[in-house]
Structure 1
Amino acid sequence: MSADESNTGDRTRCAECGAAQPGPDGLCASCSPTVIRDPDEEPLTETVAEVTRPDGYAGPAQIAHFRVIRKLGAGGMGTVLEAEDEKMNRRVALKVMARHQALSDKAEKRFEQEAWIAGRLDHPNLVKVYERGGWEELSYFSMELVHGGSLADVIRNLKERGRDDRFDVTFGTGEYVLWAMKRMIEAARGLQYAHEKGVVHRDIKPMNLLLTERSELVKIADFGLAIEEEVTRLTSAGEVLGTLIYMAPEQLMGKQDIDARADIYALGVTLFEMLTLDFPYTGKTRQMYVNAVLSGEARRPSKLNERVGRDLEVVIGKAIEREPRDRYATIAEMADDLEAVLQHRPIKARPSKTAERVVKWARRQPFRAALVALLLVGGPLLAVLGNRAVELRRLSREQSIERFEVEVRRLWQQDRLGEVLAPVSEILRLDPDNLSALHTRSEARATLGSQTDDPVEKQRLCDAAVTDAERIVELEPDAAWAYRVKAWVLDKVGRGDEAAEATRLAESLRPEEPTANDLFFEGKFALTAGNYQEAVDLFSESLALRPSRPVLLSARASAHEELGNLADAIQDHRVVLALNPEDFESMANLGRLLIESGAIEEGERYIDRALELAPGESSIHENLSNLAMIRGREATASGDVEGAAGHFKQAEGHAREALALDAEGIWSRINLGASLMEQNRLLEAPDEALIDEAVDHYEAAIERLEALPGQAQGSEIAAAQVNSCDALIQARRLERALGLCREVTETLPDEPVGYYNLAGVLALLGRHDESLAALERDLELGDADWQYLEADAWFESLRDDPRFRDLLKRMKTAAGEDA
């Protein structure tokens, strides 16, 4: 029989090291806190949490003024009982020094230290210690009784059943990820308080993170291994204390200079476990696990749970860095970053760069690093470097593809299909079998080919579109969506019979349960066709099968925006950024939508961050120009003429910068014209040069919109026409303005602004009856801004008309004000 087997069978000795006097878990005081336990094993470590199957209790029924109700748990450092405090008439958790431990002076000092340290800490996220004392040679202290169990209980339930009914959380859902982050933020804030008081816990783990039953608030328990950073420690040189899986590398190595960063590491491991139901490192034996921690690479939580977004993964990675200097400097910084992830704000931590990973690898494996440095021409080294070079090339290719995909989406959204071909062809040069790129290029080529009047170019584009569609079918011969793409392209280029055959094949291959790709491409068809609600439904179904895909979320956000569901579009962009914090396109779109929905300050932060990531992106300057226009109009309304002028000048600058980056930018021209006209309004006398330039930009925008391949949205043309009409009215070019205003009311018959401008032109022309009729329509459509109308110089000739005064009164009533 081996020594290990002997120890296992002899219950009078520690199962780990063979020492005498084991605790109730079969381990001595030194081994009990460090052993790796089976995650499914019922924990014996002390806890203040209430359990449903209490262990038997054979001790005294009364300890001092505490009436013992039942035993809650036990471990190497004592027994925890539920008791009635008869002095204070309250239920408490009573921790009593275990009799076998009382024989150890060091253990007794630790017990007294726990009571003393925890007793002077008072924070909502820490278990409160009420009093400490002694009774018949036993030491005890009473604590707040927490009824909700521990995070270890939640993790155990999730492993067994996939959900925890007490707190109504289900593993694998986005809601659970949010719940886990909130609990970790609470724990971090409690540790922040302790650290600020000079106390390091040293044994953070799920079992010591208790939950209140009603508020689900985390409370940190068990300061038995805590140290005060400013006093002499009880730990001897080389002594290892803590629960091994959650112990920081410096603790595993028995170092004495343990500081608050060890708690940061432990909380990071706990969060990793909560989100994956697994650990960052693996090892079949105790030593193998320690070796993995000291020299291996931590696993990525997103590989175990795809609900873990990129930012959240960065936070966890930062917390569990091997070297303390590479972790968060304080637990408060970790909590701040977790709150930023929760609120979809940028985090401060950054992913490790390649060079940094190499340095860290050298720290972990100095012998191997030195060997690599020496064997500069060795064959094995060349293989390693070759593999690294391949990996770097792969990463570089993926990053290039991402950049081109962003450009493709931007141009596609602006209906600039001719310009889409260059970046999408670059994607296919880097990745010839990229299905999404093949689909995009085939659709762009087919659309362009169907619209050109040049027969040679038409033939070239149509043939190329069909070739792309056929390549998709080659790559996905059993996918219904591939034949749908081919059918659409063939129909677009006028080959109806072949399109009908492809449609028949698509129907024959349609699965009873469509795949994520089927649903994604069906959604793209619906989006292109303007069936936005159908697109939302299809993208949502695809996401249900393949959660957390940024391309799907971005596409659904576009459909939501077209439907006017800004809140849903905003949420999708937030999730995209949680998955990929460097996606400047989603960042800029999120900022723009937040501004449109009234959250201007938050929107501005996202757009500023997008500009940092992509200073050469014209659409971001467009967004900043829009923002400056909003600021300028707010300043104008408040009477701050100087401030308004500054904002409008800033809007002009961003619009010009956008045009310098992209001369075809339609909205940049509209923004530039609008900024010039707003500056003109602030002048005492009209500036003809400003007005002329503004009109030129509006007309250029209209010309480009009308020339776009495909159908430009009438609302976009009308927006340019409204602005141009306004400029022409200010310049008193009334007949030309009149024609434009009528076009706007025909294009957008339900928008009040067109009728307001039309009324202004007619009033200036002296056609008062027609002007009042247009104002009536403006009011019918919801315009109740009577103050603006009353002060507007366009309607000076109507001031004394009783019909005009009556209309003003009705506008006041519509605005909810006394007439």
Structure 2
Amino acid sequence: MVQEPDSDVLEDLMAQCLAAPPEHQRALLEELGARRPEWAEELRRRLAALEKLGVLADAVPEGLPEQFGEFRILERLGGGGMGVVYRAEQRSLRREVALKVVRPEHLWFPEARRRFQREVEAVAALQHPGVVPIFAVGEEGGVPYFVMERIRGCTLAEALDQLRGSAPESLSGRDLARVVYTRAGEPLPAALPPVFEGSWTSAGLRLAAQVADALEHCHQRGIVHRDVKPSNVALAVDGRVLLLDFGLASQAQADALTRSGAQVGTLFYMAPEQLRGRAEPDARSDVYALGVSLYELLALQLPFQEDSRPATEARILHDPPDPLRARNRRVPRDAEVVCLHALEKEPARRYASAGAFAADLRSVLERRPIRARPPGPLLRARRLLERRPAASAAVLLGALLLAGTPTALLLQSQAYSADLEDALSRESDALLDAQEQVRRFQHISRFLEGLFWVPDPDRGDGAALTAREILDRGVHSVRTELADQPATRASLLHVMGSVYHKLGLYAPAEELLRESLALADAAPEAHAELLPRALTELGTLETRLERFDDAEARLRRSLELTAGASGALLATRSETWITLGRLYSLRGERAAAQQALLAALEVMDGAPPALAGELAGNRGAALGQLGIVLLGAVQSRESADPQQDLARSEQHLREALDWIGQDPAPTTLLRATALNALALNLKLQGRLEQAESCYQTALESFRALLGGDDDRVASVLLNLSGLRMQRGQLEDALDLAQQALAIFRRVLPEGHSATVIAQGNRAGLLYRLQHWDEAEQEYEVLIPLQEQAFGALNLYLPASWRNLGECRARRGAVPEAEAALRRAAGLYTQLGHPEEAAAAEARLEQLRSADG
């Protein structure tokens, strides 16, 4: 009687054989057979069966099986670590399916086979649009297989392989769709599924969010994928993103490989805890693998890849990934934070669930706040200390000082925290600079502690200090307590003056900026970076206040100081050119404005790639201002082709919003400004619903950040008034115009052009509402203001004279009406508007006829 081989021993021998490199498997088989001759024949039979089916890594199938149950094999589609996939036909339903023969080295063993069966049944029971559906599971000739939907498209890995080598900044979602449709043998449609729309980054974030949704669905049901990677993500031509091989090989593979001491998963996508072998893969391991896949998708490079496995493992275990935006400058800062949060070394610091990961991905897409936060200086210092303990002591001390500073650091973090962050990243090469930062932070820390100390017992009850109260208190502290620290005092005065400026508090802003500039000017060598920044900030404020000559002189001096600049001064230089462009635009010098803005873009184009992210907001501001210049040409009737200029303006403004969203600093004010301009563009194109939506979003942003009394809030209100007027909602329009005018009068100097324009809009609405007496009084006051603000010949004046003439005619004052209409006709003629001049002359003739 032939003895049945002991299954446990046989499984051990088979595992040893299959774990060996393919070229050594036969030699090892013979060696094992010689040692255990009673099982040699069974080992040979099993290995031969695997070779015949073509499921070994180096095997060529000798004969293709024609039938697996009711599934007829049509052709071999491909193979991989999990097995071989065939295109097959399900005869009963006459549909094509994908049939996968699982590599039996994972499932040959009875216990592994039972676990596979249990897990495949669990996955087959899942109902989610992001999990590829399993139609059937079976076994043919002792070989397990399963059947799933045949996806028309390709895997994400195939798409990335096709595009690898391209600059990701140059790609869009349409490029991804083109690969998917080409692989499926289908033409690219004009209207793409939503997942492929927009920029490369947007498409990648949407794709990752869909995968995260599928993972969350399965994790909640106790199933962990264990091998998330681009080759297990399918992209369908109908826009679906589906997970493949969900959990099918996981436990079976673990059973087989554990016998040979190997690890489960694909190295590049394995979480550090999996490499250490200290923890069973869980939801956070899948989150990590999806984070790697997202990084690879956005950068077209893996975060960790070296020439050897040990070197790659060392990087995964110990090194942070390179900044994502260094590899793709168009990735928004929040997207980078989300991706790197998923790649945290410690599972507890990652997203706790795939659902939380998906939520933050969608927040980035919708430009809402994210929950993830970048590692602060203290954590970065701790990690640096772990890697380079001797070289990082001084840097760590600076980080500890920063961590102990009160929250008022927000007021000056742009100027100082960035310095320390740079020192942290430069590590030991920056020790001297870091030590200087420590000394400066000691002064700043003492200042801020005093700033937030509440001496008034009536304010010690938890009532929040307002930003204005904090700033006012800080100004006094800087001038008294830091009197012997001119460098720190100059920098803090500059920062606080800039904050006053951003808050629309122009008088105290100007006072502080002038004081800071005087300190920097007194010691220019010690303030090589502060001096041009101070000139530009004060020049920007003077531009806003329409003191154009003073502003231009300061801005030109800043440009002289930053000629040939590098590093942080490139941002100052580009900001200076942008402000000059805005100044020339406000003065009506549109050609000069365009030249200045193109100069700003040229500065940024020549900046090192590492600064691309930091300059994103400036690039957005320059593009937005170019769009505004084109709008001004259309509104002033200087445009030779208004429709073309409106289209170009819209393109610039939308590009501006895209770049602004990628800036690492808070850029909500910039975004709201661009939205306000985009809304005006859309209104001029007649797209009123879209315009209203943009206006409302900009208004909400400005009010949330600045409160109600700010000229930027008033600007949106005035533009919204114009939209309501265009819709015929004259009473609403008048109310909005009066709100805007009241704000302008409170916050801007007397005679400011914005105030005069608002007053003109209100007069025009009274005229349209046929409130003749009120309108006449408004125009009597308005016309001298328009001459003072815009000169004796401007486009506003003839319209005001014409309307004033009509108001006078309505009350029967014909001679005064005729005088006003003659003035209007003459001004229109001088401005080169013959049609309007003729209309005024016709009304004048009508009055003469009636009077005669």
Which of the five TM-score ranges fits, normalised by the shorter chain? Answer: 0.5 to 0.7
Could you say which residue in structure 2 is the equivalent of 1:194?
Answer: 218
Q: 2:100 aligns with which of 90, 95, 111?
A: 95
Indicate how the Cα distance of structure 1 residues 727 and 61 shifts in structure 2: closer, same or farther if over 3 A, else same: closer
Q: Which amino acid aligns with 1:98?
A: R
Distance 2:295 2:604 in 1: 24
Distance 1:226 1:771 in 2: 92
CA contact (8 A) 2:378 2:396 kept: no
Q: Which amino acid aligns with 1:763?
A: R
Could you say which residue in structure 1 is the equivalent of 2:309?
Answer: 286
Cα displacement (A) at 1:61:
2.5
Cα displacement (A) at 1:83:
1.8
Cα displacement (A) at 1:217:
3.5
Cα displacement (A) at 1:94:
0.9
CA contact (8 A) 1:722 1:741 kept: no
Cα displacement (A) at 1:56:
5.6
Could you say which residue in structure 1 is the equivalent of 2:90?
Answer: 85
CA contact (8 A) 1:726 1:757 kept: no
Could you say which residue in structure 1 is the equivalent of 2:320?
Answer: 297
How do 1:489-500 and structure 2 match up within 5 A? none
SS at match of 2:228: coil
CA contact (8 A) 1:127 1:143 kept: yes
More displaced stretch, 243-252 vs 731-740 = 731-740
Q: 1:388-433 CA distances to partner (integer Å, 9 max, x unpaired)?
A: 555678999999988877888999999x999976677788878515
Number of residue equivalences: 632
Distance 1:216 1:55 in 2: 35
Q: Which amino acid aligns with 2:358?
A: A
CA contact (8 A) 2:808 2:816 kept: no
Could you say which residue in structure 2 is the equivalent of 1:720?
Answer: 759
How do 1:214-229 and structure 2 match up within 5 A? 214-224=237-247
Cα displacement (A) at 1:319:
1.5
Distance 1:633 1:404 in 2: 38
Distance 1:435 1:608 in 2: 35
Distance 2:731 2:765 in 1: 21
How do 1:175-574 and structure 2 match up within 5 A? 175-212=199-236, 214-224=237-247, 240-256=263-279, 258-358=281-381, 432-433=528-529, 437=533, 440=536, 471-472=561-562, 529-531=589-591, 532=593, 549=615, 550-564=617-631, 565=649, 568-574=652-658
Could you say which residue in structure 2 is the equivalent of 1:497?
Answer: none
Q: 1:672 aligns with which of 743, 747, 751?
A: 743
Distance 2:267 2:493 in 1: 42
Indicate how the Cα distance of structure 1 residues 470 and 123 shifts in structure 2: closer, same or farther if over 3 A, else same: closer
Indicate how the Cα distance of structure 1 residues 291 and 470 shifts in structure 2: closer, same or farther if over 3 A, else same: closer
Could you say which residue in structure 2 is the equivalent of 1:739?
Answer: 780
Q: 1:582 aligns with which of 638, 653, 666?
A: 666
Cα displacement (A) at 1:275:
1.9
Indicate how the Cα distance of structure 1 residues 412 and 765 shifts in structure 2: closer, same or farther if over 3 A, else same: farther
Could you say which residue in structure 1 is the equivalent of 2:17?
Answer: 20
How do 1:48-127 and structure 2 match up within 5 A? 58-127=63-132
CA contact (8 A) 1:82 1:93 kept: yes
Distance 1:537 1:452 in 2: 20
Distance 1:199 1:772 in 2: 86
SS at match of 1:192: helix
Cα displacement (A) at 1:773:
10
SS at match of 1:200: coil
Q: 1:424-459 CA distances to partner (integer Å, 9 max, x unpaired)?
A: 7788878515797498489899999xx999xxxx9x
Could you say which residue in structure 2 is the equivalent of 1:139?
Answer: 144
Q: Root-mean-square deviation (CA), in Å?
A: 6.2
Distance 1:563 1:521 in 2: 16
CA contact (8 A) 1:201 1:226 kept: no
CA contact (8 A) 2:494 2:513 kept: no
Indicate how the Cα distance of structure 1 residues 452 and 723 shifts in structure 2: closer, same or farther if over 3 A, else same: closer
Could you say which residue in structure 1 is the equivalent of 2:186?
Answer: none
Indicate how the Cα distance of structure 1 residues 307 and 382 shifts in structure 2: closer, same or farther if over 3 A, else same: closer
Residue identity over aligned pairs, in percent, reads: 23
SS at match of 1:123: coil
SS at match of 1:126: coil
Q: Which amino acid aligns with 2:110?
A: D
CA contact (8 A) 1:442 1:468 kept: no
Distance 1:325 1:614 in 2: 38
Distance 2:126 2:324 in 1: 33
Cα displacement (A) at 1:265:
1.4
Distance 2:395 2:665 in 1: 35
Cα displacement (A) at 1:318:
1.6
More displaced stretch, 744-753 vs 185-194 = 744-753
SS at match of 1:339: helix
How do 1:559-708 and structure 2 match up within 5 A? 559-564=626-631, 565=649, 568-580=652-664, 582-593=666-677, 596=680, 598=690, 604=696, 608=700, 618-619=710-711, 622=714, 670-672=741-743, 697=745, 703-705=750-752
Cα displacement (A) at 1:244:
2.2
SS at match of 1:578: coil
Could you say which residue in structure 2 is the equivalent of 1:36?
Answer: none
More displaced stretch, 64-73 vs 311-320 = 64-73
Cα displacement (A) at 1:184:
1.8
Indicate how the Cα distance of structure 1 residues 750 and 422 shifts in structure 2: closer, same or farther if over 3 A, else same: same
Distance 1:599 1:580 in 2: 28
CA contact (8 A) 2:494 2:534 kept: no
Cα displacement (A) at 1:153:
1.8
Could you say which residue in structure 1 is the equivalent of 2:188?
Answer: none
Indicate how the Cα distance of structure 1 residues 599 and 739 shifts in structure 2: closer, same or farther if over 3 A, else same: closer
SS at match of 2:17: coil
Indicate how the Cα distance of structure 1 residues 534 and 343 shifts in structure 2: closer, same or farther if over 3 A, else same: farther
Cα displacement (A) at 1:74:
3.3
What stretches of structure 2 of length at least 5 have no aligned partner?
Answer: 1-11, 26-58, 181-196, 400-426, 445-487, 567-571, 632-648, 683-689, 788-792, 829-845, 848-852
SS at match of 1:352: coil
Distance 1:393 1:736 in 2: 63
Q: Which amino acid aligns with 2:528?
A: P
Cα displacement (A) at 1:272:
0.8
Distance 2:388 2:245 in 1: 35
CA contact (8 A) 1:311 1:341 kept: yes
Distance 2:217 2:350 in 1: 19
Q: Which amino acid aligns with 1:530?
A: R
Distance 2:96 2:557 in 1: 77
SS at match of 1:297: coil
Q: 1:591-618 CA distances to partner (integer Å, 9 max, x unpaired)?
A: 5346655555665556655666677994
Q: Which amino acid aligns with 1:307?
A: R
Distance 2:694 2:543 in 1: 39
What stretches of structure 1 of length at least 5 have no aligned partner?
Answer: 1-13, 29-53, 477-481, 486-515, 656-666, 674-696, 706-712, 782-802, 805-819
Q: 1:356-412 CA distances to partner (integer Å, 9 max, x unpaired)?
A: 4456668999999999999x9xxxx99998765556789999999888778889999
Q: 1:541-561 CA distances to partner (integer Å, 9 max, x unpaired)?
A: 666666663223202212212
Higher helix share: 2
SS at match of 2:351: coil
Distance 1:463 1:533 in 2: 19
Cα displacement (A) at 1:222:
0.9
Could you say which residue in structure 2 is the equivalent of 1:748?
Answer: 795
CA contact (8 A) 2:156 2:234 kept: yes
